[in-house]
């Protein structure tokens, strides 16, 4: 039988960032510019199409395995978005709202959590009220400058190109579950 070497994680984050993220139990995500590249493709029939990154999707699934609830709060609503979230098992979502703070507060109440147990990833002004209240705020590399300014961490990846996965990985490392989850894929 061939020898299989156990893969050790190579991903690292600054210790102070990991400490800040340690108690996170829910992660709020915007959609356009975070889970997508922010571009809108509109067909002749008026249908809006979006492109999602599979790395980001797998990150949302891994959060759930680690006991961290992914939640989506977005200003838009579309059938493709609902289908994607359903396929990923994301149960907590609010669609079509620009006033995201009350939606986040209601989700926290429903989950029995508070802001100190929440993290958020956003890319534009409507995300600021949630990001400013969370224990950890994250922004994609291509987020608006005001959003990057309040973020505790700005990803190397752009929105829709793995930024959400980088955020998920940060939360997984901080939770202490990253190495065990990775080991499950190296056997």
Q: Which domains does the chain have, with CATH numbers?
A: 16-117+143-184 (3.40.50.1000)
Say whether 123 counts as a known binding-site residue: yes
**In this predicted model, what pLDDT tens digit does every residue of 91-117 receive, in sequence order?**
999 999 989 999 999 999 999 999 999
Measured between alpha carbons, how far is 113 from 24 in angstroms, rounded to an integer? 10
Considering the entire predicted model, what is its pTM? 0.93
pLDDT of residue 41: 84
* DSSP at 93: E
Nearest Cα to Cα of residue 170 among 63, 91, 89, 98: 63
**In this predicted model, what pLDDT tens digit does every residue of 131-166 receive, in sequence order?**
999 999 999 999 999 999 999 999 999 999 999 999
Say whether 169 counts as a known binding-site residue: no
**In this predicted model, what pLDDT tens digit does every residue of 68-96 receive, in sequence order?**
999 999 999 988 899 999 999 999 999 99
Residue-wise DSSP of 136-173: EEEE-TTS-HHHHHH-SEE-SSPTTTTHHHHHHHHHHH
Say whether 56 counts as a known binding-site residue: no
- Please provide the average confidence, as pLDDT, over all residues in the chain: 94
Question: Which residues are CB-neighbours of 172 under 8 A, at least 6 positions away?
Answer: 62, 63, 66, 68, 178, 181
Q: 54-65 and 79-88 are packed helices; what angle lies between their axes, rounded to 10 degrees? A: 50
Measured between alpha carbons, how far is 9 from 86 in angstroms, rounded to an integer? 30
Residue-wise DSSP of 44-90: TT--EE--B-HHHHHHHHHHHHTT-EEEEE-S---HHHHHHHHHHT-
């Amino acid at each position: 039988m061939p020898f299989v070497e156990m893969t050790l994680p190579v991903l690292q984050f600054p210790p102070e960032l990991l400490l800040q993220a340690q108690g996170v139990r829910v992660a709020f995500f915007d959609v356009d510019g975070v889970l997508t590249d922010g571009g809108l493709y509109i067909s002749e029939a008026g249908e809006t199409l979006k492109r999602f990154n599979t790395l980001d999707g797998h990150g949302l699934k891994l959060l759930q395995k680690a006991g961290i609830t992914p939640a989506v709060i977005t200003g838009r609503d579309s059938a493709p978005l609902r289908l994607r979230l359903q396929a990923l098992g994301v149960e907590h979502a609010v669609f079509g709202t620009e006033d995201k703070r009350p939606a986040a507060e209601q989700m926290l109440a429903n989950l029995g959590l508070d802001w100190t147990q929440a993290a958020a990833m956003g890319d534009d002004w409507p995300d600021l009220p949630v990001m400013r209240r969370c224990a950890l705020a994250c922004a994609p590399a291509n987020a608006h400058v005001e959003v990057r300014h309040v973020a505790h961490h700005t990803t190397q990846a752009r929105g829709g190109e793995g930024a959400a996965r980088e955020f998920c990985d940060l939360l997984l490392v901080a939770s202490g579950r990253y190495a065990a989850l990775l080991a499950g894929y190296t056997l």
